[in-house]
Each structure stands twice: as structure tokens, then as C-alpha cells.
Amino acid sequence: MELVYVNPEKCIGCLQCELACAVEHSTSRNVASAWAEQPVPRTRIHVVPGPVAGSAYPARCRHCDPAPCVQVCPTGSMARDESHDVVVVDVETCIDCAMCAMVCPFDALTYHPVAASDGERTVAVKCDGCIERLRRGEQPACVEACKVGALVYGDINDLAAQGRLRQSGLVLAAVTAAEAEEDARSGGPVAAWRAWGASAANVVAAAARAEGAAR
């Protein structure tokens, strides 16, 4: 199963993924002219600022299976594309009822005007996995635009294994740093060895004094 995997600790909040997503879903697919289009192309991924400066999280549809939005949609406009395992919206049949937004556990849906066969219509807007790019054997636009590895695309098991390896490295590095700090505070192993030597010398001296007193 291939999908977009998020490494939130790497996200710097640059918004390049949002820009790439909006341009990919524009009519021209040109960054210079997309913003002049009507209706204005909308991003399907939303970068949320983190609790501290320099941190952020790229929130997007998880394409759940089973997907609550698909289950509650009264017109069937929310459907799963089985060939690429992504949930897509049919803008021709969406009635803007917001049932999908009510049940989405990740608040991944927004509502904006889009171009349809009968003109401009307000419909549910969400990540479609860049399904046209997937059909061409390409990566999703957000992944291609991300230069820090916060968004990666591939088999979930492989990506999860890489995540575990990265997390274990961070934990081991933190433990090593903590141990080094503790050694520095306590004088480290050399100081402990010297303290043991001094104690041993004191014991030997005390034994010698006791032996002399006994004579």
C-alpha cells in the first residue's frame, strides 16, 4: 500500500507543499498564471503552525479505509479509486451538504467554488492523492515540492521502518548526550577511577598504621 507519509519533526512550515498542490489543481498548472484563474485554485494540504517557532504540521486527508466520508455521502460523490486506493470527490454530484466534514476525524475537508460542467459550484475540496500524477507514475505534487523530507511517498511498511530507524537514532543520541552531561557533572569515569584509587590508598595506610600500633 503506497501513500504519503508525514514526518512532522522535519516540517519547517515553508508552505511549498500548499503552493504545489494549488498549482497542480489549477487549470493552467502554471505557477505564474494559476492565481489569476477563476475560481481560484485551492490547496488540498494545510500546513498548521506548531506550538514552538519553526515547527509545523502538514495536515491532509488520510484516505481512510473504510472512509467515514464515503460512508455518509448521500449522493455518492465521495468514492474510493480502487486502482490507487485514494478517496476522490466527484464535483458534478457533490451537493455541498458538509456531511463528510462532520464525520472526518482529521478535519481534512474544506468547501470552495470549483469549475464544473454546469459552471462554478461550491463543493467539498480535499486531497485526491494527485491521482492524475499517480496514473502517470509520478509522485504527488506536495511530495515532489517538499525539500526537507517532511512529506514522502512510498510503501507504508518501508516508510514506517525508516521512521522507526530514525526515531531509534534520535533516542540513542539523546541518551548518549544525557550520559555525557551526567559524566561531566560528576567528574566522569576518570574522576571516579581516581576516587577509587584514593580510597584504596587510604585503606592500605590505615591497615599499615594499625599493624604498627599492634607492634
Q: What is the pLDDT of residue 201?
A: 76
Per-residue confidence at 69, pLDDT binned at 50, 70, 90?
very high
What are 158-185's pLDDT values in tens digits?
A: 988 988 888 888 888 887 877 777 666 7
Per-residue confidence at 189, pLDDT binned at 50, 70, 90?
low
Does residue 46 surpass a pLDDT of 80?
yes
Averaged confidence pLDDT in the chain: 89
Q: What is the pLDDT of residue 132?
A: 95
Q: How far apart are CA 142 and CA 152, in angstroms?
A: 9
Does residue 95 surpass a pLDDT of 90?
yes
User: Is 102 exposed, middle or buried (CB count within 10 Å of its CB: 0-12, 13-18, 19+)?
Assistant: exposed
Q: How far apart are CA 114 and CA 48, in angstroms?
A: 24
Is residue 102 classed as helix, strand or coil in its secondary structure? helix
Q: What is the pLDDT of residue 199?
A: 75
What are 96-142's pLDDT values in tens digits?
A: 999 999 999 999 999 999 988 888 899 999 999 999 999 999 999 99
State percent of the chain over pLDDT 90. 65
Helix (H) or strand (E) segment spanning residue 87: strand 86-89
Greater confidence (29 vs 210) lies with 29
Does residue 4 surpass a pLDDT of 90?
yes
| DSSP code string of 48-60 | EE-SSTT-EEEE-
Q: What is the pLDDT of residue 183?
A: 67
Which range has highest mean pLDDT (4-8, 124-128, 186-190)?
124-128
Per-residue confidence at 211, pLDDT binned at 50, 70, 90?
low
What are 191-203's pLDDT values in tens digits?
A: 666 677 777 777 6
